[in-house]
Chains A and B, each alone.
Chain A
Amino acid sequence: MNNSIPKKLKYSRTHEWVRQDDDVLTIGITDHAQTMLGDLVYVELPEPESNVETGHECAVVESVKAAADVYSPVSGEVIEINEALLESPQLINEDPYGKGWLFRVKPFESEIAEDVAKLLTADQYTKQVASEAH
């Protein structure tokens, strides 16, 4: 597998990526995840202003092969969703770390430290992907 795993992002064991810009977190699925799923045809995103909880399913991505749940890597309030995906789910295939982002969260201050501590670094996530390809 030669999928890209950018160093500057954090990752969850369930193949989501997280980017932190000040107090806002952007979340998407990894290049590895989109490769495994294949061409995406449908995306269901959380409601703006709703709350998402760490480890709970909050979105669905569907390809011609499979439907997969997306688990929120952090707890917080959804402040923005990537509406372009509703019309063009293929953006996730084309640019998983850029135009294919899923939603933005303002994390709950009480939980953010614990949530971030649980996330994987790029190196740790690379190892996990390698171990799954047994």
Chain B
Amino acid sequence: MSELIFDQSRSGRYAKAQAPKKSVKIDIPAHLLRKDKPFLPEVSELQAVRHYTRLSRKNFSIDTQFYPLGSCTMKYNPRGVHRLAMLEGFLLRHPLSLDVHSQGYMACAYELQEILKAVTGMRGASLTPMAGAQGEFAGVAMIRAYHQSRNDVARTEMLVPDAAHGTNPATAAQCGYTVREIPTDSDGNVNIESLRAAVGPQTAGIMLTNPSTLGVFEQKIEEIAAIMHKAGGLLYYDGANLNAILGKVRPGDMGFDVMHINLHKTFATPHGGGGPGGGPVAVSERLVPFLPTPMVIKSGDTYQWLTEKECPQTIGRLSAFMGNAGIILRAYMYARLLGQEGMIRVAEFATLNANYLLARLKAAGFTPAYAKRRASHEFIITLKKEAKELHITALDVAKRLLDYGFHAPTMYFPLLVPECLLIEPTETEAKEVLDAFVDAMIKIIEEAKTDPALLQEAPYNLPVRRLDEVRAARELDLVYRSDEK
């Protein structure tokens, strides 16, 4: 039974425990009160519980299945971290509480700022961006503010490699820059000659992900930093893949000036569903004055807020308070539980798991997109050969994986690799899980050899069969209307 909760609705049915108290005095002028009842389903408490429990069981999630979604880092969030962030003192603190009543929370925020500075090799950090995309926006806004503060207003171009996340050009455009694409060479590095030809007095900066979305470490990063700085441009580090290098090498040491950190990827805060998120920014010396407010400073034994008053050059506030408090706390707890040594293990196991998976898939006959390169924490296989010989697509393989109980890897991204799967096992998976995934991949290719239609019509074992993505995009229909029956 998968009917909508609206279909279960019967007039007058309700849950007493959930109903508003009649005696509450409503202090709203009569002409502003609605005349009709809102259109909401009327069901019993048990019906509501069953409905949503049933829906939740249809989920594919990290708590139930292996989720090797490349570039998204779907790793396990330790339960202990949630428990600590849910302590009453944190939950009940009002964001406008006096500093003297918020010292515990402020100490956590301050220490997280310090930890992020230490692991990124940067000189300043602000936790205020509400998610990675806002962190990117803050980062590029700081680059802009920096150039403007020097009256260097002719810098109108932002360089973005063609392998970048789509958010990079979007962020640059949002901040008023013209985007200039830099091609990748056949080994997956930024093409240095194209970069040299592209830089000039119009260059504001470059946005790089390292390791890149191609799953390889940018080997010429020092040369890139030298070229950019010589041209007067700044380097932006997209922190999407920071978990691959955590504790091993620092963006600050590579020459980056500004970066964002996706707390849900590297620091294991809850992921997906659109939030709440966390996208702190960290910067080199010259960008410190522009960091978004508020931040926390330590003065003697007390913690204080740093606001626009103390930071006149700040790009300003990005949210009503300082980011998502619960997410900041979880990231802090996670960092403290790991410690310095644990952070190194994050990077080591993320890359070990990826390279193990890659080696096994390669031995089984799959084609790595960058065969000469060692994987970082993720890697790409291309099913171009299989597509040609067996008449199946990366999409068919991805859908069939669902039947075997694995979430599909990222497909068709990065765009420059045909029929690709971008696979990221993360550091939290056991070897047995990785082996089972490889076995399923091998089995799927065997199936394709004897019965390609089996793949083309997959999945079979899920609540829904193959969805019509094209029709869903062309005829988007998300709203239930009472006249729909």
User: A interface vs B, CB < 8 Å?
Assistant: 39, 41-42, 64-67, 89-90
Chain A residues with Cβ below 8 Å from B473 are: 41-42, 64
Nearest residue (CB) in A for B475 is A41
Shortest distance between the CB of B240 and any CB in chain A (Å): 18
Chain B residues with Cβ below 8 Å from A64 are: 469-470, 473
Interface residues as binary, B399-416 with A (CB distance below 8 Å gives 1, 0 otherwise): 000000000000010010
B474 at the interface (CB under 8 A from A): yes
9 closest A-B pairs (Cβ-Cβ)?
A: A41-B473, A39-B470, A64-B469, A65-B412, A41-B474, A66-B415, A64-B473, A64-B470, A41-B470
Interface residues of B in 104-161 (CB under 8 A from A): none
Chain A residues with Cβ below 8 Å from B415 are: 65-66
Contact assessment for A66 and B412 in the assembled complex, using a CB-CB cutoff below 8 Å? yes
Q: How far is the CA of A66 from the CA of B474 in the complex (A)?
A: 14
Chain A residues with Cβ below 8 Å from B470 are: 39, 41, 64, 90
Nearest residue (CB) in A for B411 is A65
Please tell me the number of chain B residues within 8 Å of chain A, measured between CB atoms.
Answer: 7
Nearest residue (CB) in A for B412 is A65
Q: How far is the CA of A39 from the CA of B472 in the complex (A)?
A: 12
Q: How far is the CA of A41 from the CA of B473 in the complex (A)?
A: 6
Chain A residues with Cβ below 8 Å from B166 are: 67
What does DSSP make chain A's interface, helix, strand, loop or mixed? loop
User: B interface vs A, CB < 8 Å?
Assistant: 166, 412, 415, 469-470, 473-474
Starting from the known contacts A39-B470, A64-B469, 7 additional A-B residue pairs (CB-CB under 8 Å) come to: A39-B469, A42-B473, A64-B470, A64-B473, A65-B412, A67-B166, A90-B470
Q: How far is the CA of A64 from the CA of B470 in the complex (A)?
A: 6
Chain A residues with Cβ below 8 Å from B469 are: 39, 64
**11 pairs, A vs B, C-beta closer than 8 Å:** A39-B469, A39-B470, A41-B473, A41-B474, A42-B473, A64-B469, A64-B470, A65-B412, A66-B415, A89-B474, A90-B474
Q: How far is the CA of A67 from the CA of B474 in the complex (A)?
A: 14
Nearest residue (CB) in B for A134 is B186
Chain A residues with Cβ below 8 Å from B412 are: 65-66
Shortest distance between the CB of B270 and any CB in chain A (Å): 28
Q: How far is the CA of A66 from the CA of B251 in the complex (A)?
A: 30
Nearest residue (CB) in A for B186 is A134
Q: How far is the CA of A18 from the CA of B452 in the complex (A)?
A: 39
Shortest distance between the CB of A40 and any CB in chain B (Å): 9
Shortest distance between the CB of B89 and any CB in chain A (Å): 46
Nearest residue (CB) in A for B166 is A67
Nearest residue (CB) in B for A41 is B473
Nearest residue (CB) in A for B181 is A69
Shortest distance between the CB of B467 and any CB in chain A (Å): 10
Nearest residue (CB) in B for A42 is B473
Q: How far is the CA of A90 from the CA of B412 in the complex (A)?
A: 20
Chain B residues with Cβ below 8 Å from A41 are: 470, 473-474
Q: How far is the CA of A65 from the CA of B470 in the complex (A)?
A: 10
Shortest distance between the CB of B392 and any CB in chain A (Å): 15
Shortest distance between the CB of A14 and any CB in chain B (Å): 11
Q: How far is the CA of A66 from the CA of B469 in the complex (A)?
A: 13
Nearest residue (CB) in A for B393 is A38
Shortest distance between the CB of B169 and any CB in chain A (Å): 10
Q: How far is the CA of A66 from the CA of B414 in the complex (A)?
A: 10
Interface centre among A64, A66, A89, A90 (most CB of B within 10 A): A64
Chain B residues with Cβ below 8 Å from A66 are: 412, 415
Shortest distance between the CB of B127 and any CB in chain A (Å): 32
Q: How far is the CA of A67 from the CA of B170 in the complex (A)?
A: 12
Q: How far is the CA of A65 from the CA of B166 in the complex (A)?
A: 12
Q: How far is the CA of A66 from the CA of B473 in the complex (A)?
A: 12
